[in-house]
């Protein structure tokens, strides 16, 4: 138990930057479900994944807008401080051939208002892009679900760790109380001359070690609380009280059903790869669409104002309007488009291999998780029995010692065996609870 907690020490102090701080003095009485829901609303990774999903919605709208009418406008104003000069052949004006006459064309002030319309009529890549944008949105939603699953698992494990640490302190309290009575009794017997001082010292050392272990465990419990709040996205100085008890944790001994061989579809990792395969297939369709022509409608309205007098510039308008079609036809690319298509097809084949591989991996992971869980239950039952046996051995050793047919060393050894049995029980309890979480995750029950 101590080893697991120490391994998590680095995580707890990597940074506790969270969302808005909780109101000062507010106490949260949370069950495990409450902690998980709190994490869904405050944990940074979950919030960022939710923002990514929202961004994907805007991406779909952005892609859809490409196929809708696009209208742009512009306005110009020009003041010809000096009107441009053009040279015309002199013979136009009766001058000798080879000569040029400078002539100024135009007016001093010119202004224009321009509106341009573009409408996509057909583009295979656009149609594929619409599908891809929706699939991209699906991918972001599944990433959001994955972040919630990870938050759920992390919060659940941290919650269980606090419960187990609290249970460990209660066991230590029971052992310390029992040992304190034994210390007091041994000291009294030593004063009466019934036992030697070495017996008192031996049991006093054991008592001091157990008291130190309890103090260390209390400090680690405080750290476990901080780790839980960190996983929830709660400020680590927040007031959190857990309402669930160890007895509320379901540890069923029933063997998990294995007849359903399609449960891997419930795993978010498989769903993510499925969505990625869809995107890869759409990329193939997009490469094929590059072989097709594109057709666009375009139109323009231009209002042109020209005058030598600025005051009456906008009294004369010389408008122009047109509509037209633009057809872009790909003719020859020296094999570039063909090779791009083949590359995309290879990516699809690789993604299909990845799907098969993750399917096998999920099946293997689920089987391993089931075995680990069942082994954990067996170990937990065994440690419960060992704990009871150690208590019985200690009780008998005390009776023998009090009756003069046993030694203090035998009592001390029995006490040490009980402490070891308690530690083994705590470790087995934690392992069983954590393996249950891993089992639920392996079968895709956590969503």
What are the tens digits of pLDDT across the range 71-91?
999 999 998 888 888 888 877
Lowest-confidence region among 15-29, 100-114, 196-210: 15-29
Mark whether 60 and 40 lie in a shared domain.
yes
Mean pLDDT computed over 303-332 = 89
Residue 231: how many other CB atoms lie within 10 Å? 24
User: Is residue 401, in this structure, part of any structural domain at all?
Assistant: yes
Q: How confident is the model at residue 15 (pLDDT cuts 50, 70, 90)?
A: very low
Q: How confident is the model at residue 253 (pLDDT cuts 50, 70, 90)?
A: low
Mark whether 141 and 198 lie in a shared domain.
yes
Taking all residues of the chain, what is their mean pLDDT, rounded to a whole number?
Answer: 87
User: Is residue 85, in this structure, part of any structural domain at all?
Assistant: yes
| pLDDT(2) > 80 | no
Instruction: Give the pLDDT confidence score for residue 6 in this predicted structure.
Output: 40
Mark whether 149 and 225 lie in a shared domain.
yes
Mark whether 315 and 198 lie in a shared domain.
no
Q: How confident is the model at residue 8 (pLDDT cuts 50, 70, 90)?
A: very low
Model pLDDT for residues 217-231, shown as the tens digit of each residue: 999 999 999 999 999
Q: Give the domain CATH number at 44.
A: 1.20.1600.10
User: Is residue 323, in this structure, part of any structural domain at all?
Assistant: yes
Mean pLDDT computed over 229-236 = 92
User: Is residue 48, in this structure, part of any structural domain at all?
Assistant: yes
Lowest-confidence region among 1-15, 266-280, 411-425: 1-15
The tokens 């017997």 sit on which residue?
189
CB contact at 8 A, 48 and 125: no
Model pLDDT for residues 357-377, shown as the tens digit of each residue: 999 999 999 999 999 999 999
Q: What is the per-residue burial (b if ≥16 Cβ within 10 Å, else e) of 241-276?
A: ebebeeeebeeeeeebeeeeeebbeebbbbbbbbbb
User: Is residue 167, in this structure, part of any structural domain at all?
Assistant: yes
Mark whether 27 and 136 lie in a shared domain.
yes
| pLDDT(106) > 70 | yes
| pLDDT(51) > 80 | yes
| pLDDT(203) > 60 | yes
DSSP lists the bridge partners of residue 103 as: 86
DSSP lists the bridge partners of residue 239 as: 27
Calculate what percentage of the chain has a pLDDT beyond 90: 59
Q: How confident is the model at residue 378 (pLDDT cuts 50, 70, 90)?
A: very high
The rounded distance, in Å, linking the Cα atoms of 74 and 317 is 16
| pLDDT(31) > 70 | yes
Mark whether 349 and 417 lie in a shared domain.
yes
**Cα–Cα nearest to 199, from 396, 395, 402:** 402
Mean pLDDT computed over 276-290 = 92
User: Is residue 447, in this structure, part of any structural domain at all?
Assistant: no
Q: What separation in angstroms does the CA of 181 have from each of 178, 196, 198?
A: 5, 17, 17
Torsion of CA 393, 394, 396, 400, to 10 degrees: 130
CB contact at 8 A, 238 and 225: no
Instruction: Give the pLDDT confidence score for residue 351 in this predicted structure.
Output: 94
The rounded distance, in Å, linking the Cα atoms of 435 and 371 is 9
| pLDDT(35) > 50 | yes
Mark whether 217 and 279 lie in a shared domain.
yes
CB contact at 8 A, 241 and 326: no
Mark whether 104 and 218 lie in a shared domain.
no
Mark whether 237 and 147 lie in a shared domain.
yes
How far the first Cα of the chain sits from its last, in Å, is 28
The larger pLDDT score, comparing residue 104 to residue 51, is at 51
User: Is residue 74, in this structure, part of any structural domain at all?
Assistant: no
**Cα–Cα nearest to 429, from 369, 382, 359:** 382
Mean pLDDT computed over 218-245 = 93
Instruction: Give the pLDDT confidence score for residue 139 in this predicted structure.
Output: 92
Choosing from 305, 329, 353, the residue where a domain stops is: 329
Mark whether 62 and 108 lie in a shared domain.
no
CB contact at 8 A, 359 and 264: yes
| pLDDT(10) > 50 | no
| pLDDT(56) > 70 | yes
Instruction: Give the pLDDT confidence score for residue 242 in this predicted structure.
Output: 94
Q: At what angle do helices 124-191 and 197-232 cross, to 10 degrees?
A: 160
Mark whether 306 and 374 lie in a shared domain.
no
| pLDDT(166) > 80 | yes
Per-residue three-class SS string for the chain: CHHHHHHCHHHHCCCCCCCCCCCCCCEEEECHHHHHHHHHHHCHHHHHHHHHHHHHHHHHHHHHHHCCCEEEEEEEEEECCCCCEEEEEHHHHCCCCCCEEEEECCCCEEEEEEEEEEEEEECHHHHHHHHHHHHHHHHHHHHHHHHHHHHHHHHHHHHHHHHHHHHHHHHHHHHHHHHHHHHHHHHHHHHCCCCCHHHHHHHHHHHHHHHHHHHHHHHHHHHHHHHHHHHHCCCCCCEEEECCCHHHCCCCCCCCCCCCCCHHHHCHHHHHHHHHHHHHHHHHHHHHHCCCCEEEEEEEEEEEEEECCHHHHHHCECCEEEEEEEEECCCCCCCHHHHHHHHHHHHHHHHHHHHHHHHHHHHHHHHHHHHHHHHHHHHHHHHHHHHHHHHHHHHHHHHHHHCCCCCHHHHHHHHHHHHHHHHHHHHHHHHHHHHHHHHHHHCCCCC
The rounded distance, in Å, linking the Cα atoms of 71 and 65 is 12
The tokens 């005058």 sit on which residue?
307
Lowest-confidence region among 109-123, 244-258, 285-299, 339-353: 244-258
Mark whether 180 and 236 lie in a shared domain.
yes
| pLDDT(169) > 80 | yes
Instruction: Give the pLDDT confidence score for residue 105 in this predicted structure.
Output: 77
**Cα–Cα nearest to 139, from 45, 278, 264, 39:** 278
Question: What does residue 92 show for φ and ψ, rounded to 5 degrees?
Answer: -65, -25
Q: What is the extent of the structural domain holding 320? A: 79-122+297-329
Q: What's the total number of domains in the chain?
A: 2
User: Is residue 232, in this structure, part of any structural domain at all?
Assistant: yes
């Amino acid at each position: 138990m101590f080893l697991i907690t120490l391994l998590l020490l680095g995580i707890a102090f990597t940074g506790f930057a969270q969302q808005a701080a909780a109101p000062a003095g507010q106490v949260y009485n949370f069950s495990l479900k409450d902690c998980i829901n709190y994490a869904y609303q405050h944990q940074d990774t979950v919030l960022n994944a939710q923002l990514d999903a929202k961004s994907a919605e805007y991406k779909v709208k952005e892609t859809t807008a490409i196929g809708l009418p696009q209208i742009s406008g512009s306005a110009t104003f020009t003041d010809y401080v000096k009107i441009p000069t053009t040279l015309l052949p002199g013979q136009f004006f009766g001058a000798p051939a080879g000569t040029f006459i400078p002539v100024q064309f135009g007016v001093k002030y010119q202004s224009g208002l321009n509106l341009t319309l573009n409408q996509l009529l057909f583009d295979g890549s656009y149609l594929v892009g619409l599908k891809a944008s929706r699939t991209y949105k699906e991918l972001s939603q599944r990433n959001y679900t994955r972040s919630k699953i990870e938050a759920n698992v992390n919060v659940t494990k941290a919650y269980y760790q606090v419960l187990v640490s609290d249970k460990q302190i209660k066991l230590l309290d029971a052992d310390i109380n029992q040992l304190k009575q034994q210390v007091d009794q041994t000291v009294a017997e030593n004063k009466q001359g019934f036992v030697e001082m070495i017996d008192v010292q031996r049991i006093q050392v054991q008592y001091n070690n157990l008291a130190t272990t309890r103090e260390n465990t209390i400090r680690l419990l405080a750290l476990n609380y901080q780790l839980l709040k960190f996983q929830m996205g709660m400020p680590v100085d927040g007031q959190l009280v857990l309402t669930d008890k160890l007895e509320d944790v379901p540890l069923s001994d029933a063997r998990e059903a294995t007849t359903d061989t399609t449960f891997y579809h419930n795993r978010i990792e498989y769903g993510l790869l499925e969505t990625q395969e869809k995107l890869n297939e759409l990329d193939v369709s997009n490469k094929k669409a590059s072989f097709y022509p594109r057709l666009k409608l375009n139109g323009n309205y231009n209002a042109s104002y020209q005058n030598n007098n600025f005051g009456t510039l906008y009294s004369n308008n010389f408008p122009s309007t047109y509509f037209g079609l633009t057809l872009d036809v790909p003719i020859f690319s020296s094999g570039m488009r063909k090779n791009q298509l083949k590359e995309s097809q290879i990516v699809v084949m690789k993604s299909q291999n990845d799907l098969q591989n993750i399917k096998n991996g999920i099946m293997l992971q689920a089987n391993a998780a089931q075995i680990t869980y069942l082994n954990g239950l067996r170990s937990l039952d065994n440690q419960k029995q060992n704990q009871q046996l150690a208590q019985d051995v200690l009780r008998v050793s005390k009776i023998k010692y009090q009756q003069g047919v046993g030694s203090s060393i035998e009592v001390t050894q029995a006490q040490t065996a009980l402490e070891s049995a308690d530690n083994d029980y705590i470790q087995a309890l934690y392992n069983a609870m954590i393996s249950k979480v891993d089992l639920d995750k392996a079968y895709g029950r956590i969503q």
